[in-house]
Structure 1
Amino acid sequence: MESNVTATLLDGAPRVRRPRGLVTEIVESLAASIRAGQLQPGDKLPTEAEIMARFDVSRTVVRESISKLQASGLVETRHGIGTFVIENRDAGNFKIAAADFATVADVISVLELRISLETEAAGLAAQRRTTENLEAMATALRAFQDSIHADSDAVPPDFQFHMEVARATGNRHFADLMTYLGTMIIPRTRVNTPQSAPEGRLSYLQRVNSEHENIYNAIRSQDAEAARAAMRTHLSNSRERLRRGQAFEPANPPATS
């Protein structure tokens, strides 16, 4: 399993190298996989050498990344053996777990939280986005469209688009929160909205992607107010679609990104 986990976590598209962001890049990648359930408590992380090779970074960067994961209570290092995922035993910390998505009302509650946070994130992204940020968002949009035609639920590219907006704020706490929440914040991981939508799956997902494109266009134009409005409209529409009585289905394991 360890080799499969390593491939899942570390393979992917070429990354833009950000001198000050290498540690964050590794932490986000590993933490996202832990939050999404790709790595379970007790699983061993890839070795330092494997992480160094895959991310093309120094041992110092890898060790600092592992230290940050340890400080977050996600992993522990057993000297001479390796680094392992652990249960987060600090129940006093803020958390949103899979159990908090047991009903449609729960999913709506998280959407309301996202409306307040991601609306402002979109505005900041419009003010601060870089060419690289725009390229990453455009890649997520294309992946979403490809997923629609591949008969997929398009959850991974959906989450990736929202993650890229968070990164474009230039404020790491937005991205850290998105990493923490993971793909389970996408309502389709808990409620079968595409199949139960009156217009049908294809039209439903195309409408979602069109809403994403509106957000992207506003951010690209550096129109902060339009970006906020587009994000608020997108998430509010998701909330209203749920409120109109979509049938709840038993929760599935969160999709991976």
Structure 2
Amino acid sequence: MSDPKESLQAKRSPNDSLATLVSTDLLRRIEGNELTPGSRLPSERELMARYGVSRTVVREAISSLRSSGRVATQQGRGAFVLATTGLMVRKLPLTTERATSRQTHLHLLEVRNAVEAEAAAIAARRRTDKEMRAIEQARESLSIALDGGGNLRRKDVDFHLAIARATHNAYFEDVFGALLQLRADRPLRRTDSLQARKKRVQIIRTEHLMIVQAIERQDPDAARSAMQLHLSNSAHRAAALFDAADAGKEPEASAENGDEH
């Protein structure tokens, strides 16, 4: 029998995220009755080992299946396969490939702003001390990644997912997980000066810190505003990249940069 990790990599295209590939393979196994209705999905650790991916990738994949009505999760027990019904589940119309265009990329950020701003406000009201530590740790890891010390896109996902989980409302994690399936790696490479980059990174760090500080002091209005500011500024930064590319000032697309919000 072939190694699932090898087949996963073989199927991967530049616009596919690992979470998309994992959720697609799990869906294939569900529809092929390898995983039957009522059965429990393998544990996170087992899925990590099977596919050779991180815990965050596994959680994104399960969130996607949950948002499409294929699995349900139970606290402390795991995820269980749901029986299909005659009800058609409406799928989001975008694909990762289409999300690389200027319009769809910015539209996606608009939706994220609407969802994540409220999630930040709710997280500020409900977060536990343990969740606050997880959010702060995710921010610190993201700050290191901004300087090239790690997978930037992955650390960005970890940060926003930590906030979603602190809402104690699984639907926020579901919706964010579904939106992440649409988000492609940043399609453009930056070519600005080292000084300009340092300035931009410092602004992004400040935006992240404002979000975390508002959640820490349990100020919902400030947390909402800080997240709105961060994602609005992200949209402006993305728009500038696309505009520069249209003007012929940027080199060809690269899938290696991740997201630099």
Provide TM-score, normalisation by structure 1.
0.63
- Paired residue for 2:10? none
Say whether the 8 Å CA contact 1:96–1:181 is kept in structure 2.
no
**Which one-letter code corresponds to 2:144 in the other structure?**
D
- Aligned to 2:205, the other structure's residue is in SS state helix
Q: Indicate the larger mover: 172-181 or 226-235.
A: 172-181
SS in 2 for 1:247: helix
Tell me: CA distance 1:129–1:91, structure 2 relative to 1, closer, same or farther (3 Å).
Answer: closer
Count of residue pairs brought into register by the alignment: 206
- When normalised by structure 2's length, the TM-score is 0.62
- Structure-1 residue corresponding to 2:108: 110
Q: 1:6-43, CA deviations, whole angstroms, 9 ceiling, x for partnerless residues?
A: xxxxxxxxxxxxxxxxxxxxxxxxxx9532x3565487
Query: Deviation at 1:146?
Result: 2.2
How much identity, in percent, do the aligned residues show?
27
Q: Which residue of 1 aligns with 2:179?
A: 181
Pairwise CA distance, 1:218: 0.2
- Flag the 1:184–1:53 CA change in 2: closer, same or farther, 3 A: closer
| 1:243 alignment partner, SS class | helix
- Give how far 1:183 is off: 6.7
Equivalent residue for 1:222? 218
Cα deviations by residue, 1:154-179 (Å, 9 ceiling, x for unpaired): 11111111111111111111101111
- Displacement of 1:52: 4.5
Residues 112 and 179 in structure 2, CA contact (< 8 A), matched pair in contact too: no
Residue 191 (1) aligns with residue 152 (2): no
1:140 to 138, 141, 150: 138
Give the match for residue 78 of structure 2: none
- Separation of aligned partners in 2, 1:53 and 1:174: 20
Aligned to 1:161: 159
The correspondence for 2:92, drawn from 85, 90, 94, is 94
Superposition deviation, residue 133 in structure 1: 1.4
The residue number in structure 1 matching 2:230 is 234
Q: Give the Å deviation of 1:138.
A: 1.2
Quickly say closer, same or farther: Cα 1:227–1:50, change in 2 above 3 A: closer
Return the letter of the residue paired with 1:141.
R
- Matched AA of 1:252: A
Report the alpha carbon displacement of residue 150 of structure 1 after superposing the two structures with TM.
3.3
Name the residue aligned to 1:34.
19
1:28 match: none
CA contact (8 A) 1:121 1:169 kept: yes
Report the equivalent of 1:11. Answer: none
